[in-house]
Structure 1
Amino acid sequence: MPGARGLRNLHRVVRPILVVVPLLGLILGWGAHLAGIGQWSGSIWAAATIPVLGALLVEIVASLRRGDVGLDLVAALSMTGALLFGEHLAAVVVALMYAGGQYLESFAERRAEREMTALLGRVPHTAVRYRDRRLEEVDLETVAPEDRLLIRQGDVVPVDGVVARGTAVLDQAALTGEALPVRKGLGEPVMSGVTNAGDAFDLTATHRAAESTYAGIIRLIEAARASKAPMARLADRFAIAFLALTVTLAGGAWFWSGDPIRALSVLVVATPCPLILAVPVAIVSGVSRAAKAGVLVKGGKALEALARIRVLVIDKTGTLTHGEAQLATMQPAADLPPQTLLRLAASLDQASKHVTARALVREAQARGLSLAVPTEVAEVPGEGLEGTIDGHHVVVGGLRYVANTVPTLGRSLDGSRYPAGSVVVAVAVDGRLGGLLVLADRLRTEAAQVIERLRRLGLDRIVLASGDRNDVAEAVTVGLHFDGVHADLTPDRKIDIVQSEKRYGPVMMIGDGVNDAPALAAADLGVAMGAKGAAASAEAADVVLLVDRLDKIPTAIQAARRSRSIALQSVYAGIGLSVVGMTVAALGYLTPVQGALIQEAIDVAVILNALRALWGRETS
């Protein structure tokens, strides 16, 4: 059995042919009529109808095996009836318009998927790797963590890594929608899938290709394409009711008038229904629009859930905050400049793998400080380290460690006056206090604005669910409009919070860690911070943020709501116009050919309306 992709490719080949056949038959039939051999016109039109009817019957059988009953049946009935009653012109017009509608739908879907398929076309297959002081081009699958790669200008970064030499100027538009290039300095992380828009730089791989961000995004896109929207299932339920109405009107018209052509006119004016065209086009358009903004929505089910969200439960560390220690303040001694304090501490911290040490090194490198090579280093893991920097004896670590290591400081170090959740690093230079460096997992700059935007979008409740201490959670949320703050939560307690909030409406959970994955799965809609978050959370989530920014969430909600609204507009307008046309046909005021032309005009209109989901600007 061919896969979903194979079927799509087959349809893209067959559908243009099915348009050409009835079009050519229509032209040849009229040519025969004008040439004075009109007796052949009907046969030509009938012959041109049969391939379309045959392809349609194959699709109907396949749909019935899947348990789907749709309005393709009406198209088949109208073509069959037109052939049986000798209305060959009507039959070929219905065949042409049906095939044209299917082709237009296929074209619309391809247009809507453009941003997502662009990602697939950019997958690199090789990488340029350093080996024995030489460069070699190797298959991407052979690249391993710690390999050093050369990323040339214009290259797509093949694997996740960190900048090892030079400054990376990266075009992230394909993944995040950001218009301006982003600069990454030495030691900063780089996502696979972005394009090098500047000079060549070296990258140290941190993941294999199959484990990198871009590979995960591609897998999620394939899953999104394979998903069927619940609105499409809703459309199928509409289709059953509409099919019953169509058959009733057609049968009633035939019964009361005694004219089977009236029944045929009713059938053709209902062929094909906008229900089977507008909904998938609008849904795919919405998914594509969200992907362009840097939000991967895993198909139509997630898109519709996103449009109906009324409650937000959000994690703290790595979600509401950046999830890593960052330098908040520097308090140097009176005779030591702040930059010198940071340079001495970071130079010594190059010898440590501790997360706080690495944060200070990143901060110093970001400020362009020239770090010295540490010597005579001794480290107490988790406490601190000491060594020699430019001839000075430097001690860096926690307050207690530095006080114990440098007896002359006594008990003068006090960290109690710093905010909850802060990490205070003491620095001693040549037996004297050099100063204090305060690090904190800072609130995202866009957090307050995002919360207010979500309020304006109609979210009734916004709740924090954190595994961190209560005092830290309270400190982080000061000034933010939260309806509840829950701390000290285990993963199962986060699930309880999500379940309890469902009484207020559909719940969206945003998280990034492995401990958030169960709650993401339990929510009506799970959103994972995909840029830096754990793979487990991305797998459990329905929506993945391709960029480490919360302000993409309101944009995605607006795109989802707009797509759903446009889909429903198209359905209701299409059904309404079809019912009017069917009624007029039942009363005998439309011929089968006229009915077919009117219905296809309705189909084109609703498809174009559904494509509006691709365009338009969301409000802030």
Structure 2
Amino acid sequence: MRNLRLNILLLATTVLALGIGGFLYWIDALASAHATWTAGSLPALACTACNVYRALARREMGADALALIAIVGAIVLGEALSACIIAAMFTSGQVLESWAEDRAGREMSALLARVPRTAWKVDGTSIVSIDLAAIKAGDILLVKPGDIVPVDGLVLSATATLDESVLTGESTAVERRQGSNVRSGAVNAGGPFNLVASETAERSTFAGISKLIEAARSARAPAARLADKAAAWLIPLALGLAAIAWAVSGDPRRALAVLVVATPCPLILAVPVALVCGMSNCARRGILVKGGGALENLARATILFFDKTGTVTGGRARIAYIKAAKGEDKTDVLRTAAAVDQMSAHITATVIVATARERQLQLEMPQDVVETHGAGVSATLGGIPVRVGTPDFVCKTVPWPEWAREFLKTVGEQGGSGVFVAKGDRVMGALHLADQVRLETPRALRLLRRAGIRRMVMLTGDRRDVGEAIGSILGVDEVCAELDPAGKVAAIAQAPSASISIMVGDGVNDAPALASASVGIAMGARGAAAASEAADVVLLVDRFDRLADAMELAKATRRIAVQSVSIGMGLSLVAMMVAALGYLPPVYGAALQELIDVVAIMNALRALRAEPSRPTGRRLAAEEARRWRDQHEKLMPVLDRLSSLGGRVLDMSAAQAGPVLQEIDQLISEKILSHEREDEAVIYPVVAELLGGEDPLAPLSRTHREIAALSRELHRDVVAFTETGSERALRDIQRLLYSLAAILELHFAQEEEMYLAVS
């Protein structure tokens, strides 16, 4: 803000001097007019000299150097009006640049806003609030539900449920037993617990991450401006031509005329205008770019680093898979677990209940509910005892199922947690809760490849096997697993020094890496304050594919800026030749330079209307896309029944299987096929128009025909089995049930990705 005010003051001073000097010149007070113009150019001259000095200290020569030479030369040769005009152009460019960065900076809150200021200390029989700085090692602290752990310490209570996603990046809450270490910055996701401080606030984990951010920021070299790169060849050319003109003519004013029209006003003005317009264009799409340097780097980036949790995954646990025991139905497993978990406030329970409600399952109200903190919930449903929770908790009263070992092995390999469900005297099934890949992630990575990214590296604090499993699904070039914040910074530091790198993250643990990359990008919709502050770009819309939009808009903005510079400097080169031949006095050269500036700036303003290469003018309303996706969620119980029935149909007698198969056949006809017909008649025409092309949905329509063919074949086999009870027909029915479940699950995922793409 201070730089912006200073630049506005400089511009106002210069413009005021131009006006007053013009009035004095009009009333024939020529000496006073020249003195006023000279005085008006001096503040800008001092500012320009400071900029040139700082550039020279970095061993650079920027666009400001030629402006400095032109202003000094004009003053020395008595061309005060030319000096004042050049000064006005320079200060207006400074105002535009500083305004752009200040505008973006105001959008962000203070750095690390989530750092707690106070803590609750247990002092004998009372609990008092104390400043964070007053905490000493050995103090007993109370951490209330939802509070942030203020310092590193040891759990004093029996258990503590913590959300450590801001530190580790992992979304699944963890249980810490008595005596376990906990780190500052984690959030209490369970009941209140006592903590023995092992460190002061200054020496705790959260403070250490803050220091890493500052260290990474100070180590990052300043980005070279596009204008400075263009000035690298213009300065020696202009000085050489001016020297030749002076030497040939013997008139120093001819050299000054060359320098006046060579003053890089198209660089000083057109580039900031294009960048400001590009930043505003990005902001309209939910992409906050904090400065022109970040936009320039984003346009040239070739290496992408990204965190796993909250970036390419949703950042929240969801039900990834339902395991039903032999003879049980997946929908019944979910319904039973959700019915009991209605009475629990645990974050895992809320996920299970929310999923059941999304699928519109009717939930029975449990009785005799008893919750064991950190283990699970027991209750009765219809007079039958039910237990939902950890495997050890559930299997205390019932035998371990034979499939439990394989299920837990899968959970361990893929990450997440397992919730077992027992009803009566047996385990009826289990739920695998895991953080799943965002729906838009595969498409976003494809778009980023097209936008110019050559190498993709996923950084995660998770185990290597879990990270590599997700990396192989996404097709990334490299996976770096088991990394702490310092490890992520080190991984980014290994990128070639000449390359431009992007880092995308959303948690406090990502903030140092965001600050160390060429361009740090934060998923700001639900990301931590530290990540947003350390980043150069914030995606305010919580969608990973907006990064591809940001890159394409940055490329379009840079292309327009280069065009503006080329137009302006091309015209300036022609004017320089005319001035060198003596046909363009300095004052007229300054006026001509103004016209060149207008042409360059008008072209630069096109960045305000730049569009990504994919059409975004006509989009599907987000509410409509969500409504279409919700229809799939309502059909998930039918898909669960298809796969569950496929697993147990061969164990049924003909008398048992007949009615069940007739029921599923009717469900397919009434639910699935009617949904597919509605897709073809109502939804697909709308989406096809948005996508464009002759027949963009032909592959999905082909899938509809395959689903219809499988459904007809299943119907024929069900009728045949009902009449004959043939075991061969039953095996064909099992194959068809599995086939329909698989193709429908894939088809729904493809449709949801398509809906997201056009919304």
Measured against the shorter chain, the TM-score band is 0.5 to 0.7
- What is the CA-CA distance between 1:449 and the residue it aligns to? 0.4
* Unaligned ranges ≥5, structure 2: 57-63, 110-142, 147-212, 615-759
Q: Structure 1 298/371 Cα, relative in aligned 2: closer, same or farther at 3 Å?
A: farther
Letter in 1 for 2:18: P
Letter in 1 for 2:42: G
Structure with bigger gyration radius:
2
The equivalent residue for 1:71 is 66
The equivalent residue for 1:53 is 41
Q: Structure 1 498/237 Cα, relative in aligned 2: closer, same or farther at 3 Å?
A: closer
Does the 8 A contact of 1:289 with 1:614 survive in 2?
yes
Q: Structure 1 118/494 Cα, relative in aligned 2: closer, same or farther at 3 Å?
A: closer
Deviations 1:23-73 (A, max 9, x none): 46436645x4xxxxxxx2634642552342233334245445645662332
* Structure with more of its chain in helix, by fraction: 2
Residues 75-154 of structure 1 aligned to structure 2 (within 5 Å): 75-81=70-76, 84=78, 91-92=80-81, 95-96=84-85, 98-99=87-88, 102-103=91-92, 106=95, 116=104, 119=107
Does the 8 A contact of 2:14 with 2:41 survive in 1?
no
Q: Does 1:587 align with 2:581?
A: yes
Q: Structure 1 52/389 Cα, relative in aligned 2: closer, same or farther at 3 Å?
A: farther
Q: Whole-Å Cα distance in 2 between the matches of residues 228 and 291 of structure 1?
A: 26
Does the 8 A contact of 1:298 with 1:543 survive in 2?
yes
User: Matched residue of 2:65: which SS?
Assistant: coil
Q: Whole-Å Cα distance in 1 between the matches of residues 609 and 564 of structure 2?
A: 16
Does the 8 A contact of 1:396 with 1:425 survive in 2?
yes
Pick one of 543, 550, 560 that aligns with 1:556: 550
The equivalent residue for 1:18 is 14
Residues 68-467 of structure 1 aligned to structure 2 (within 5 Å): 70-81=65-76, 84=78, 91-92=80-81, 95-96=84-85, 98-99=87-88, 102-103=91-92, 106=95, 116=104, 119=107, 230-232=223-225, 235-236=227-228, 239=231, 242-243=234-235, 245-271=237-263, 273-330=265-322, 342=334, 344-350=336-342, 352=344, 354-364=346-356, 376-388=368-380, 393-406=385-398, 411=401, 414=404, 416=406, 420-421=414-415, 423-431=417-425, 433=427, 435-467=429-461
Q: Whole-Å Cα distance in 2 between the matches of residues 406 and 41 of structure 1?
A: 105
Does the 8 A contact of 2:287 with 2:537 survive in 1?
yes
Q: Structure 1 388/327 Cα, relative in aligned 2: closer, same or farther at 3 Å?
A: same
Q: Whole-Å Cα distance in 1 between the matches of residues 483 and 14 of structure 2?
A: 59
Does the 8 A contact of 1:384 with 1:397 survive in 2?
yes
Does the 8 A contact of 2:323 with 2:429 survive in 1?
yes
Does the 8 A contact of 2:96 with 2:273 survive in 1?
no
Q: Whole-Å Cα distance in 1 between the matches of residues 505 and 290 of structure 2?
A: 16
Deviations 1:542-596 (A, max 9, x none): 4443333211211222233333333344344433432332221111121233211
Letter in 2 for 1:397: G
Deviations 1:113-140 (A, max 9, x none): 797488479xxxxxxxxxxxxxxxxxxx
Q: Whole-Å Cα distance in 1 between the matches of residues 562 and 221 of structure 2?
A: 17
Moved more, 364-373 or 438-447: 364-373
Does the 8 A contact of 1:279 with 1:610 survive in 2?
yes
Q: TM-score, normalised by structure 1?
A: 0.67
Q: Does 1:597 align with 2:591?
A: yes
Letter in 2 for 1:587: L
Q: Whole-Å Cα distance in 2 between the matches of residues 413 and 80 of structure 1?
A: 89
The equivalent residue for 2:656 is none
Does the 8 A contact of 1:19 with 1:103 survive in 2?
no
The equivalent residue for 2:161 is none
Does the 8 A contact of 2:37 with 2:81 survive in 1?
yes
The equivalent residue for 2:158 is none
Letter in 2 for 1:80: I
Letter in 2 for 1:277: L
Q: Whole-Å Cα distance in 2 between the matches of residues 496 and 552 of structure 1?
A: 27
Letter in 2 for 1:95: C
Q: Whole-Å Cα distance in 2 between the matches of residues 614 and 514 of structure 1?
A: 33
Q: Structure 1 601/435 Cα, relative in aligned 2: closer, same or farther at 3 Å?
A: same
Q: Whole-Å Cα distance in 2 between the matches of residues 237 and 477 of structure 1?
A: 38
Q: Structure 1 8/564 Cα, relative in aligned 2: closer, same or farther at 3 Å?
A: same
Does the 8 A contact of 1:272 with 1:600 survive in 2?
no
Q: Structure 1 441/416 Cα, relative in aligned 2: closer, same or farther at 3 Å?
A: same
The equivalent residue for 1:207 is none
Does the 8 A contact of 2:245 with 2:254 survive in 1?
yes
The equivalent residue for 1:189 is none
Q: Whole-Å Cα distance in 1 between the matches of residues 493 and 69 of structure 2?
A: 44
Q: Structure 1 381/413 Cα, relative in aligned 2: closer, same or farther at 3 Å?
A: farther
Q: Structure 1 538/272 Cα, relative in aligned 2: closer, same or farther at 3 Å?
A: closer
Q: Whole-Å Cα distance in 2 between the matches of residues 16 and 536 of structure 1?
A: 37
Higher relative contact order (Cα pairs below 8 Å, separated by 6+ residues): 1
User: Matched residue of 2:467: which SS?
Assistant: helix
Pick one of 466, 470, 484 that aligns with 1:476: 470
Q: Whole-Å Cα distance in 2 between the matches of residues 107 and 527 of structure 1?
A: 24
Does the 8 A contact of 1:468 with 1:488 survive in 2?
yes
Superposed CA RMSD in Å reads: 4.6
Does the 8 A contact of 2:11 with 2:92 survive in 1?
yes
Q: Whole-Å Cα distance in 1 between the matches of residues 7 and 491 of structure 2?
A: 46
- Give the percent of matched residue pairs that are identical in Structure 1 and Structure 2: 42
Q: Structure 1 66/423 Cα, relative in aligned 2: closer, same or farther at 3 Å?
A: closer
Does the 8 A contact of 1:115 with 1:291 survive in 2?
no
Q: Structure 1 369/25 Cα, relative in aligned 2: closer, same or farther at 3 Å?
A: farther
Q: Whole-Å Cα distance in 1 between the matches of residues 456 and 404 of structure 2?
A: 36
- What is the CA-CA distance between 1:608 and the residue it aligns to? 3.1
Q: Structure 1 20/491 Cα, relative in aligned 2: closer, same or farther at 3 Å?
A: closer
Q: Structure 1 589/311 Cα, relative in aligned 2: closer, same or farther at 3 Å?
A: same
Letter in 1 for 2:260: V
